[in-house]
Amino acid sequence: MPAAAVAILVVIIVLIILLISCIQVVPQANAYVVERLGGYQGTWSVGIHFKTPLIDKVARKVLLKEQVVDFPPQPVITKDNVTMRIDSIVFFQITDPKLFSYGVENPIMAIENLTATTLRNIIGDMEFDQTLTSREIINTKMRSSLDVATDPWGIKVNRVELKNIIAPAEIQNAMEKQMKAERERRESVTRAEGEKRSSILVAEGKKESAILEAEAEKQSAILRAEAQKEKMIREAEGQAEAILKVQQATADGIRMLKEAGADESVLHLKSLETMEKVADGQATKIIIPSDLQGIAALATTFKESITK
């Protein structure tokens, strides 16, 4: 192959490679800062772009996603002269690729130093105990200060979080002792409250038991009295009925004797039968007339009472 043809082929291949290298595709969530002859020419967004060979160049590729930077613990001094270290995290996002590329030499280092100084200023106005309980306030103040300071750099600070607050060893020991004492105090209070509640419940139980026993005894006494009353009523009714029957029988016997026209001998015999029944009783003394004439007189009296 002639040398001229080879040279032409080489030139064509070089031109093709050069043209291909001038084609740039910007991916999603990225931006390219393009310079022409050393000066800012423009910012390419997502899509395909062409640059002029040997004149234009991509000076910086900027990531537009939200980024997280975890800075090492920074020593700070509180208002009451307690030295501690605070570990912070910054969430930021690049909003202007041009300002980000030309605003500051090293944006991440600038944010780190700015975070440290801002944190020292905020903690310096707070006491140690307030620092431990005011994380949200510190986060809000730091985010506001950093957002204002980084705005000329094309950076927006979305959030700042205090990852860890590291207190001196002696203060940590004192805090642990204090927390232990507080837990023991709460335990004692809880135990005392439990014992008090238990005593109250026991007393209430005894009170209710005594009331129930008294009520049961009252009901039992009422039932016994009613039963005794009913028994006495039944006995009285039985005795009255027995007396009534005895009187009725006596009246019927007298009437029958009267109707039968009983003579003196019959009355005398009935008197003797009456004496026999009296003798069969449980009486310890029996009065008997001294002579039979007395018995006859008694029979005559009994007869007269019948005839009346």
Q: Indicate the fold that domain 67-167 takes in CATH.
A: Tetrahydropterin Synthase; Chain A (3.30.479)
CA terminus-to-terminus distance, the chain: 189
DSSP 168: -
Task: Evaluate whether 86 touches 167 at the Cβ level (below 8 Å).
Answer: no
Model confidence over 199-222: pLDDT tens digits?
888 888 888 888 888 888 888 888
Whole-prediction pTM: 0.54
Number of other CB atoms surrounding residue 292 within 10 Å? 10
Model confidence over 244-288: pLDDT tens digits?
777 777 777 667 766 665 555 555 555 555 555 545 555 455 455
User: For residue 231, how many C-alpha atoms fall within 13 Å in the half-sphere facing its CB?
Assistant: 6
Q: pLDDT 10s per residue in the chain (308 long)? A: 577 777 788 778 877 887 887 888 899 999 999 999 888 999 999 989 988 888 888 899 999 999 999 988 888 988 888 888 898 999 999 999 999 999 888 888 999 999 999 999 999 888 888 888 888 999 999 999 999 999 999 999 999 999 888 887 887 777 777 778 888 888 888 888 888 888 888 888 888 888 888 888 888 888 888 888 888 888 888 887 877 777 777 777 667 766 665 555 555 555 555 555 545 555 455 455 544 455 445 445 544 544 44
Query: What's the angle, vertex CA 126, arms to CA 125 and CA 128, rounded to 5?
Result: 145
Number of other CB atoms surrounding residue 207 within 10 Å? 10
If we measure between CA atoms, which residue out of 28, 102, 115 comes closest to residue 68? Answer: 115
Write the single-letter amino acid at 25.
V
Residue ranges, CATH 3.30.479.30, the chain = 67-167
